[in-house]
Amino acid sequence: MGDLDGWSTYGTLPSGTTVIVGTGLRRGSVYPLASPQPTGLLKEVQETGTGGPTTAAAIGIQRTMTTKVGSTYVLAGTMLSLQDTTPSGYQYRWAVSGIGNGTTASITNTSTPVTIPSYTFVATSTSTVIQIQLNQAVSWSASGWFEDVAFYGITMTEVPNTSDRRLQDVAYTGPLSTHFSMACDTVGAAWWVDKTNTTKFRQADDSSALKATFTDARATGKHEYVDISAGYDTRNVVNSITVNNHGRNAGTGNAQDVTYTASDSTSIASYGVRSGSLDMEMRSGYIDLTNLVTNPSGETATTGYAAVAGTTGVAAVTSASPSVTSAFGTKVLKTTWSTANTASGAGITYDVPVTAGTVYSFAFNHFLSSIPTRVAMNVEWRTAAATISTTSGSATDTTYTATPIYSQSFDTNTTDSWAAGASTTVTRVTTAPQAGTGHLQFVRASGTTALTASRTITGLTPGRQYVATAYMRESATGTGTRTGFLQVTGFTAGTPGTTTTNYQQLSSGIFIATSTSHTLVLNSTNTTSAAYTTYWDTILVQEYTPTVMPNFKLENLTAPATATIARMSVLSLSGGLAYQNQAIGTYHEADGLMAVAGTTVPTYFDGSYTDLTGNYLYAWTGTAHASTSTRTTFAILNTRIAEVIAARKTPARVITSIRWNAQEDPLLASSLDVQDRVRVEFRGQIQDSRIVGIKHNVSGSTWMLQLDLVPG
């Protein structure tokens, strides 16, 4: 059968079939093809009777592969019919056990190789079973071949993770080996010349699987080394580093090198200055993001913004000081209503120019409404003249903090200055409190006059919003229409409630104070002329302070084919909280707008920002607060420098090499390569390491392997 390279058949062949050799799978030349013929896996099963149909994908060939969790792999290969008369089974596909399967293709004849449609998957385990399945319900007679197919050119390729570390052009004259070293030091990689005189490069990957474990005590599944080099050495400490990042001026072609320094003060205090240097060619100092909103925080003007007043409403946008903290800069875009709207759909918009087919992400990083309402962020894709489509975010109820200004539950023997209205007697009683021990009682002897009481509420701040609530019930079931409500004098009464013998909470609705005090009226009515008694308890007046709704965002949106504008907006929705319509004097605030090309919204920036970490440089592309903003990144270079110091700033017992009798496991010894990861156990210390050097010492009777190591 030859070496099947780990492949085997799976599933049970149906009765009425027979194999030529073994399990029906052998290694051999793909003989119908012209010389030089490739070698492949030949699946040969003859028919000896009739039968079918079989279950699709129930039989095929498979192999177990070592994989890395989270890594992406691509399966590919070619197949060919070994008969000009197509076998009964002729449809095949790739599959990965427990993950999924690819697209089915059909073999035809001996002269037409067929590509097995490639299949890409992400490994979920360190051991993965790949399969080529006969994905067909096969029926057959006793006159031919059930399967007669060759699979060859089979590959499983690991797709390398996209690295954010890029090399840049340099103007540097030196040996090729120096260029190799600079490139590898830039990305954290290694290069070497292997035993076949091939130059290899490999980036360090501390997440890759361990190839083997070597130990000082023999144990199952581990390999015992015969010698080890380990020790402490402060000479290896580096806590102050100078990096010369080589580059090239695209205009002149001359060298454009920049020197960076970094240090670790804690390590220096303990071990003194231990200096090192490194040459790199990291692409750094380039613009990686642009905020396309030219007036993101309204610092000097309202250019680009428009109010959406809503049905019957009148509103305007101004550049104003924020009502609460957490704004971006010193101003916000404030939309204020001078005439109330009567339906949802009120808010603010901003237009951003876009390119069709490009992916964008958008955000309002600061939004609040002065009244409780339900809102959603939207992106309306437009041409200059018309709407194409709209993407809307989730409906969100705005949030508030409530500060009590007045609170009374009548648990002490007082009516707390509540003044009785006409035909009403007000007393404190303990008959049926909603909470605590007491409550107010309103009594009407006869007639139909409403039962009322009023009190002046002080300590208000003009321009701020408040709401009053109270619990009310009747003493016994009355007749006629009975209602209760709260009203602040000069404002519309709150929504009335139908009076029953159960307490219900009533609200005045939100009112915006026009002075430091207002009069609150408690009102209960009974349209039938009769004696009537109602109870009131737990009266509360609170100042409502709106809180910022951060990070309204819509991400990973593709501009439609004809779109030239993305209209960002936050608009009110019907439903949700009771007060969604904008009364006179109410407002929305928007600030910190972002629109970027990309799948996610980054942390807010505009051209006025300063980054204290040294990772980014921000700038306006034109007039401040009236042009787009750019972010120039140095973060990747800084991260690489920090990695170098972190790995060397503290002395530790480091295992630098081991010697091992390779005859214990010749296959492992022959497969180990530079940058492979292994684990070494030494006197209780466990060090995961990367191989940086391999030396084979082979004689007639011994094969010793020396591995040079660095932690990682």
**Structural tokens at position 291:** 């905020």
Q: How far is CA 245 from the centre of its chain?
A: 32
**Local confidence band at 580 (pLDDT 50, 70, 90 cut-offs):** low
> What is the full DSSP assignment across 635-655?
HHHHHHHHHHHHHHSS---EE
Distance CA 691, CA 675 (A): 5
Q: Is 23 exposed, middle or buried (0-12, 13-18, 19+ CB in 10 A)?
A: middle
For the entire predicted model, the pTM comes to 0.57
User: Residues of the chain with pLDDT > 90: what percent?
Assistant: 58
Per DSSP bridges, beta strands 223-231 and 210-215 are parallel
Residue with tokens 């969790």: 69
Residue 515's H or E segment, with its range, is none
**Local confidence band at 326 (pLDDT 50, 70, 90 cut-offs):** low
User: Residues of the chain with pLDDT > 70: what percent?
Assistant: 98
Residue 682: strand, helix, or coil: strand
Mean pLDDT over 338-344 rounds to 80
Q: Is the pLDDT of residue 203 over 80?
A: no
Q: Is the pLDDT of residue 653 over 60?
A: yes
More confident residue, 573 or 657: 657
Mean pLDDT over 359-380 rounds to 90
Mean pLDDT over 672-697 rounds to 90
Q: How far is CA 369 from the centre of its chain?
A: 27
Residue with tokens 């250019």: 303
Distance CA 101, CA 81 (A): 22
Residue 185's H or E segment, with its range, is helix 176-187
User: Which letter does DSSP use for residue 141 in this model?
Assistant: -
Q: How far is CA 278 from the centre of its chain?
A: 34
Query: What pLDDT is stored for residue 410 in this prediction?
Result: 95
Mean pLDDT over 685-700 rounds to 89
Of the candidates 706, 692, 695, the one whose C-alpha atom is nearest the C-alpha of residue 188 is 692
Q: Is the pLDDT of residue 579 over 60?
A: no
Q: Is the pLDDT of residue 712 over 80?
A: no
More confident residue, 512 or 57: 57
Go through the domains of the chain in sequence order and give each one's CATH number: 8-159 (2.60.120.260), 210-232+652-711 (2.40.30.150), 291-393+571-631 (no CATH), 403-546 (2.60.120.260)
SS (H, E, C) 441-508: EEEECCCCCCEEEEEEECCCCCCCEEEEEEEEEECCCCCCCEEEEEEECCCCCCCCEECCCCCEEEEC
Mean pLDDT over 233-261 rounds to 87
Q: Is the pLDDT of residue 214 over 80?
A: yes
User: To the nearest 10°, the Cα dihedral for 310, 313, 319, 320?
Assistant: -110
Note whether 52 and 121 are within 8 A (CB).
Answer: no
Q: Count other Cβ atoms within 10 Å, centred on residue 175.
A: 8
**Structural tokens at position 181:** 């070293």
Note whether 375 and 393 are within 8 A (CB).
Answer: no
**In angstroms, how far is the first alpha carbon of the chain from the final one?**
42
**Local confidence band at 205 (pLDDT 50, 70, 90 cut-offs):** low
pLDDT per residue over 398-419, tens digit each? 888 889 999 999 998 889 999 9
Least confident of 168-177, 188-197, 303-312: 188-197
Query: What pLDDT is stored for residue 572 in this prediction?
Result: 86
Among 164-173, 181-190, 370-379, 553-562, the range with the most confident prediction by mean pLDDT is: 553-562
Q: Is the pLDDT of residue 570 over 80?
A: yes
Mean pLDDT over 525-549 rounds to 89
pLDDT, averaged across the chain: 89
Residue with tokens 């990965």: 96
**Local confidence band at 577 (pLDDT 50, 70, 90 cut-offs):** very low
Side chain identity, residue 588: H
pLDDT per residue over 613-625, tens digit each? 778 889 999 999 9
Distance CA 712, CA 694 (A): 17
Mean pLDDT over 145-165 rounds to 88
Query: What pLDDT is stored for residue 239 in this prediction?
Result: 92
Q: Is the pLDDT of residue 578 over 60?
A: no
> What is the full DSSP assignment across 691-706?
EEEEEEEE-SS-EEEE
Residue 307: strand, helix, or coil: strand
Per DSSP bridges, beta strands 210-215 and 677-682 are parallel
Q: Is the pLDDT of residue 566 over 80?
A: yes
Query: What pLDDT is stored for residue 161 in this prediction?
Result: 67
**Local confidence band at 389 (pLDDT 50, 70, 90 cut-offs):** very high
Q: Is the pLDDT of residue 263 over 50?
A: yes
pLDDT per residue over 470-513, tens digit each? 999 999 888 888 899 999 999 989 888 888 999 999 988 888 89
Of the candidates 219, 222, 205, 218, the one whose C-alpha atom is nearest the C-alpha of residue 677 is 205
More confident residue, 339 or 360: 360
Query: What pLDDT is stored for residue 681 in this prediction?
Result: 93
Of the candidates 426, 593, 602, the one whose C-alpha atom is nearest the C-alpha of residue 521 is 426
Q: Is the pLDDT of residue 69 over 50?
A: yes
